[in-house]
């Protein structure tokens, strides 16, 4: 791709079999700006959990859906129609600006369940994305029907988000749930018949992997700042060192467990598999970011019971392991051993429940070692299978 860019290229679906298709600098900038919103959501979750407010989990789930869905919409469109000309870049930069507005609205969404600023950010992003889809419909006759369905679906649902701001009390929560279903249904409807969008399986696999790395990096940053703050306030202690060691082992093991599987080939199999891959990553991304929030709660300390403190780490870890494990088992049958996965998940929850006896730092270390042991078992099994083959 040209660094300077040309004014306008014809927007046609890119070749799904294109060799050496990699993420562009613009896509990486998009990810880095979106991780600002992820950090905001993770930080708000940390504060809510540390203060003993479990209701913050609902706000986190709602806000993270907004972040994830905006990222996902751009990612799949760019995989199919990235022309990298000036018009495409400008419209993408508008989407990034909308994402930063969304990030600015995260604290208010958590504190007052006021999604006005987030919705304004969505409007900015959606206007730019609809313009991209309409451009694709005009210039790519083969993909016109799907592109128009995307554009219409996005506009209709976005109007719904604006109208939701007028709903009072519990009706706003019901409206949110209805609109989430509508959002998830748009790609299913748009890709249901005719020529499907020509996204690139290898590129999509890389994009999801890179965003996973960025969210893991945000976890490392949040945990490090929490340890640093605790050290400044109370000095270095054995418990803090054990917590840091356990958190580091845990994050390393989570990275290994995600990247030991390759999904590119499976993404060529069926539309259902593709949708499952895309949608399941809501839980994966949200769980990884929540682990960072939990580690921050543990490192900084809180007044909630030890079992609840350890659960701020254990619960998202179990969610991450189960969803990513079952997803990879679907994508590549035989690649994941389900019984060890379920046993590890149960032991992690039991460890959190016993944090009052073990101590929270020791519980975090045990959780990290359990995930590492699960990864190690998978590596040994894979190597034995490869050797026999």
> For the segment 248-261, what is each residue's pLDDT rounded down to a tens digit?
899 999 999 988 87
Identify the pLDDT of residue 74: 93
Identify the pLDDT of residue 170: 85
Identify the pLDDT of residue 288: 94
Asked whether residue 184 falls in the same domain as residue 225, the answer is: no
Identify the pLDDT of residue 3: 47
Asked whether residue 50 falls in the same domain as residue 168, the answer is: yes
Q: Could you read off the pLDDT of 95-140 as tens digits, one per residue?
A: 999 999 999 998 888 888 888 999 999 999 999 999 999 999 999 8
Asked whether residue 272 falls in the same domain as residue 225, the answer is: yes
CA distance 132 to 74: 10
Among 166, 190, 214, give the residue marking a domain's end: 190
Among 134, 157, 190, give the residue marking a domain's end: 190
Asked whether residue 156 falls in the same domain as residue 272, the answer is: no
- Does residue 279 form part of some domain? yes
Identify the pLDDT of residue 389: 59
- Does residue 15 form part of some domain? no
Asked whether residue 111 falls in the same domain as residue 251, the answer is: no
Identify the pLDDT of residue 385: 65
261 SS3 class: coil
Is residue 223 within 8 A of residue 296, CB to CB? The reply is yes
Asked whether residue 186 falls in the same domain as residue 205, the answer is: no
Among 190, 211, 239, give the residue marking a domain's end: 190
- Does residue 210 form part of some domain? yes
Asked whether residue 48 falls in the same domain as residue 149, the answer is: yes
Asked whether residue 112 falls in the same domain as residue 217, the answer is: no
- Does residue 357 form part of some domain? yes
Q: What is the DSSP string of 37-71?
A: HHHHHHHHHHHHHHTT-TTHHHHHHHHHHHHHHHH
Asked whether residue 107 falls in the same domain as residue 218, the answer is: no
pLDDT < 70: residue spans in the chain:
1-8, 194, 269, 334-336, 385-389
- Does residue 90 form part of some domain? yes
- Does residue 9 form part of some domain? no
> What count of Cα atoms within 13 Å lies in the side-chain half-sphere of residue 316?
30
Domain housing 262? 201-388
- Does residue 20 form part of some domain? no
Number of domains in the chain: 2
Asked whether residue 210 falls in the same domain as residue 287, the answer is: yes
CA distance 345 to 81: 40
Asked whether residue 222 falls in the same domain as residue 358, the answer is: yes
| 128-167 b/e (C-beta count within 10 Å ≥ 16 → b) | bbbbbbebbbebbeebeebbbbbbbbbeebbeebeebeee
Asked whether residue 139 falls in the same domain as residue 278, the answer is: no
pTM: 0.90
- Does residue 277 form part of some domain? yes
Identify the pLDDT of residue 334: 67
């Amino acid at each position: 791709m040209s660094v300077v860019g040309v004014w306008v290229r014809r927007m046609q679906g890119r070749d799904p079999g294109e060799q050496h298709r990699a993420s562009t600098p613009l896509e990486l900038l998009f990810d880095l700006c979106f991780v600002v919103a992820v950090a905001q959501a993770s930080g708000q979750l940390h504060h809510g959990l540390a203060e003993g407010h479990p209701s913050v989990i609902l706000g986190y789930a709602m806000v993270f859906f907004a972040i994830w869905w905006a990222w996902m919409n751009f990612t799949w469109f760019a995989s199919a129609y990235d022309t990298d000309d000036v018009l495409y870049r400008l419209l993408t930069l508008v989407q990034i600006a909308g994402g930063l507005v969304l990030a600015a609205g995260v604290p208010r969404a958590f504190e007052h369940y006021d999604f006005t600023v987030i919705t304004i950010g969505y409007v900015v992003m959606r206007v730019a994305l609809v313009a991209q889809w309409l451009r694709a419909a005009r210039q790519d006759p083969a993909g016109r029907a799907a592109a128009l369905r995307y554009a219409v679906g996005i506009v209709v649902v976005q109007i719904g988000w604006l109208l939701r701001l007028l709903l009072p009390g519990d009706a706003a929560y019901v409206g949110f749930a209805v609109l989430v279903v509508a959002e998830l249904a748009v790609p299913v409807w748009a890709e249901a018949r005719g020529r499907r969008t020509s996204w690139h399986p290898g590129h999509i696999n890389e994009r999801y992997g890179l965003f996973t790395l960025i969210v893991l990096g945000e976890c490392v940053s949040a945990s490090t700042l929490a340890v640093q703050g605790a050290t400044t306030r109370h000095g270095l202690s054995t418990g803090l060192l054990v917590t840091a060691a356990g958190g580091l082992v845990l994050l390393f093991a989570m990275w290994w467990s995600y990247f030991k599987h390759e999904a590119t080939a499976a993404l060529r199999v069926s539309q259902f598999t593709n949708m499952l891959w895309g949608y399941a990553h809501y839980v994966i991304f949200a769980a990884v970011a929540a682990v960072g929030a939990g580690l921050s709660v543990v490192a900084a300390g809180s007044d909630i019971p030890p079992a609840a403190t350890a659960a701020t780490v254990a619960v998202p870890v179990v969610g991450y392991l189960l969803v990513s494990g079952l997803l990879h088992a679907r994508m590549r049958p035989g690649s994941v051993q389900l019984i060890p996965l379920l046993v590890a998940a149960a032991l992690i929850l039991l460890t959190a429940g016993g944090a009052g006896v073990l101590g929270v730092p020791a519980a975090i270390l045990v959780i990290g070692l359990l995930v590492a042991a699960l990864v190690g078992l998978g590596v040994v099994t894979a190597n034995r299978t490869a050797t026999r083959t």
